[in-house]
A and B are shown apart, each in its own frame.
Chain A
Amino acid sequence: MITLRLHLPRASYQLQLEVELAGRGITVLFGPSGSGKTSVLRCVAGLERAEDALVRIGDHVWQDERAGIFLPTWQRPLGYVFQEASLFEHLDVRRNLDYGLRRSGKGTDRAARKRALDEAIELLGISALLDRRPANLSGGERQRVAIARALALRPQLLLLDEPLAAIDVARRAEILPWLERLHAELALPMLYVTHSVDELSRLADEVVVLDQGQAQAHGPLAEVMTQGALPALIGDEAAAVIEASVSAQLSEWQLLRVSLGSASMLVAPRDEVATHPVGSRLRLRIAARDVSLSLQAPTASSIQNQLTVRIVDIQPDAHPAHCLLRLQHGEHFLLARLTRKAVAELALAPGMVVWAQVKAVAVLA
């Protein structure tokens, strides 16, 4: 459990945050630029000192201004990955990795520290870079080294501040799988700051949506994606994220059948069908613009993913011609973006049961 209470006056807004996070897996702090995400991270790290602050990680109090407790950054057992490459230019990769390790190992023996370092090097795939200077690394390589350097410290909490923002788009695809691997293989709780919907939907377990320094929504990813303030905030990128399990491999078509409550859908994974055994979990993203509704079961349609849904509510959308419908199928929620004209002509209203046709499903992991 991570408890945060932060108040920090800023030029254009007042950061005010009080949240309790599960402290498992990746918690994404999501929001537009200038919403205070990075300030939250800096306050948690002690790089900035918030007023009346409480930062508690499990049983460890890092800061409690009411009790006069403030641990300086270097005494907090955290890892921090900065937005831009933050390697020490005067040290090679190996010495960069050693820098924190040499200073953190008071309680642990050398063999354990060496093992932590070797694991981090292996996990991020940087063993070939150890003798290089930071100046001779690509942006993606630098960021992988920076992540390994933070991980090698065996931190209680890993803080990542838009680790992909300073990397060009092509290289991002190179790093995301490493982050997904961290997520899958380590029990380490992470606070991850981003304004990218793609990173949010791929990595998050829990989400805090920030705007103007205030939490606008907070909860598990699937819930936050379809409810509250987020769908309107991300506009065109509004989407539902669904965890589903594989029920069959259709090798002939390179498709997987996934079960979704009482219904099922066909999806095309990014890699080989055979790597997804029956029963394994998949994370799917279905964009609101890729969902259409029909009053009758559609026949003779090229769209094969069809399921019955109940309309939960109808919200106005950013564009006056559109509205956003929240749909429920069993325990799962979907979003559909339709024109107001279509809603009026089909007389769609909350409570109605209709057919949803899903044109595209992105398989995230």
Chain B
Amino acid sequence: MVELDAAAWSAIWLTLKLASLTTVLLLVLATPLAWWLSQTRSRWRAPLSALVTLPLVLPPTVLGFYLLVLMGPEGALGSLTTALGWGTLSFSFGGLLIGSIIFSLPFAVQPIQHAFEAIGRRPLEVAATLRASSLDAFFSVALPLARPGLLTAAILSFAHTVGEFGVVLMIGGNIPGRTRVLSTQIYGHVEAMEYSQAHWLAAGMVLFSFLVLLSLALLRRQGGNVLR
């Protein structure tokens, strides 16, 4: 039996940290965005909705390439962060985090948006007739009723971040301890013909992903009772 070495543990830790932070930040960002998309009749709705969905269809390398350019010393974001004295974000954990958030955005926005749309206007109107302001009604009615959607969004964002490769490689650069996550660690093992280490990590990820999707399916099936 092959023991997982320090490099593997470092990659696992970094992956979990990246996925957890991405999930938390995505929920905070995606919830208001999904709310706006579910409520608005603005003409910006369609273009913005398309933009949010874009990471779903683009090859991760395309996304990673543009982010790399944007974050580099010559890019808009890069010159800003350099001017602020933070250095460039490319090849750093911060850059990885931004890339992951953008890459998984549709996986967070869409379930939440669908949950808000399924609630409809009525519960919010009821809340208004019971003296709740719009903000109050959002937190006391819309969010609790959208819980299944929020949970789906969290699980999908986490799992999707764990599984990302292209974006990570483009903007992270596979630096051990800083930007080397599980997927790039496996890639490294395969490159170095270390198949047994690659097997352990790869099988672990297959099992993990299966368990995540299984729990999601079980939660969905029991729907109303478990999730509310």
Question: Given the complex, which residues of A lie within 8 Å of B122, measured CB to CB?
Answer: 82, 86
Is there contact, CB below 8 Å, between A99 and B125? Answer: no
Q: How far is the CA of A221 from the CA of B132 in the complex (A)?
A: 36
Chain A residue nearest to B143 (CB atoms) is A90
The 0/1 profile, CB within 8 Å of A marked 1, for residues 73-89 of chain B is 00000000000000000
Q: Which of A121-164 contact B (CB under 8 A)?
A: 135, 149-150, 153
Asked whether A355 is an interface residue with its Cβ less than 8 Å from the other chain, the reply is no
Given contacts A82-B122, A89-B228, A135-B224, contact A73 B145 (CB under 8 A): no
Determine whether B222 belongs to the interface, using a CB cutoff of 8 Å to chain A. no
| Interface residue? B141 (CB, 8 A) | yes
Determine the chain A residues whose CB is within 8 A of the CB of B125 once the complex forms: 47, 73, 82
> In the assembled complex, which residues on chain A have CB atoms less than 8 Å from the CB atom of B224?
89, 135
Q: Is the CB of A90 within 8 A of B130?
A: no
Interface residues of B in 98-153 (CB under 8 A from A): 122-123, 125-134, 136, 140-141, 144-145, 147
| Candidate in B125, B131, B136, B145 with the most chain A CB atoms within 10 angstroms | B131
Q: Per a CB cutoff under 8 Å, which of A72, A99, A149, A153 touches B140? A: A99
Give the distance in Å from the alpha carbon of A72 to the alpha carbon of B23 in the complex.
36
The residue on B at minimum CB distance from A47 is: B125
Contact of B132 among A46, A74, A78 (CB under 8 A): A74
**How many A-B residue pairs lie within 8 Å, measured between CB atoms?**
62
User: How close is B138's CB to chain A, nearest CB, in angstroms?
Assistant: 12
Taking CB atoms, residues of chain B closer than 8 Å to A79 are 129
Bound Cα distance from A135 to B223, whole angstroms: 13
| A104 close to B141 (CB less than 8 A) | no
A72 to B133, CA, bound (A): 9
Q: Does A103 belong to the interface (CB within 8 Å)? A: yes
CB < 8 Å neighbour of B126 from A82, A104, A153: A82
Q: Report the nearest A residue to B122, measured CB to CB.
A: A86
Q: Does A100 lie at the interface of the complex (its beta carbon under 8 Å from any beta carbon of B)?
A: yes
A45 CB-CB contact with B under 8 Å: yes
Taking CB as reference atom, which chain B residue is nearest A150? B129
Contact B128 A47 (CB under 8 A): yes
Q: A residues within 8 A CB of B128?
A: 46-47, 72-74
Looking at the complex, which one of B131, B134, B228 makes contact with A100 (CB distance below 8 Å)?
Answer: B131
Which B residue's beta carbon lies closest to that of A99? B130
Identify which of B129, B141, B144 contacts A78 (C-beta below 8 A): B129
Q: How far is the CB of B139 from chain A (nearest CB, A)?
A: 12
Contact residues in B for A78 (Cβ distance below 8 Å):
129
Chain A contacts for B132, CB-based, 8 A: 74, 99-100, 103
Give the chain B neighbours of A86 by CB distance below 8 A.
Answer: 122-123, 126
User: Chain B contacts of A75 at CB under 8 A?
Assistant: 131
Residue picked from A72, A73, A153, most chain B C-beta under 10 Å: A73
Offer 8 A-B interface pairs, CB within 8 angstroms, sorted by A.
Answer: A46-B128, A47-B125, A47-B128, A73-B129, A74-B132, A74-B133, A103-B131, A103-B136
Apart from the given pairs A74-B133, A82-B125, A90-B147, 17 other A-B contacts in the complex at a CB distance below 8 Å: A47-B129, A72-B133, A74-B128, A74-B134, A78-B129, A79-B129, A80-B126, A80-B129, A86-B122, A86-B123, A86-B126, A88-B141, A89-B224, A99-B130, A100-B130, A104-B130, A149-B130
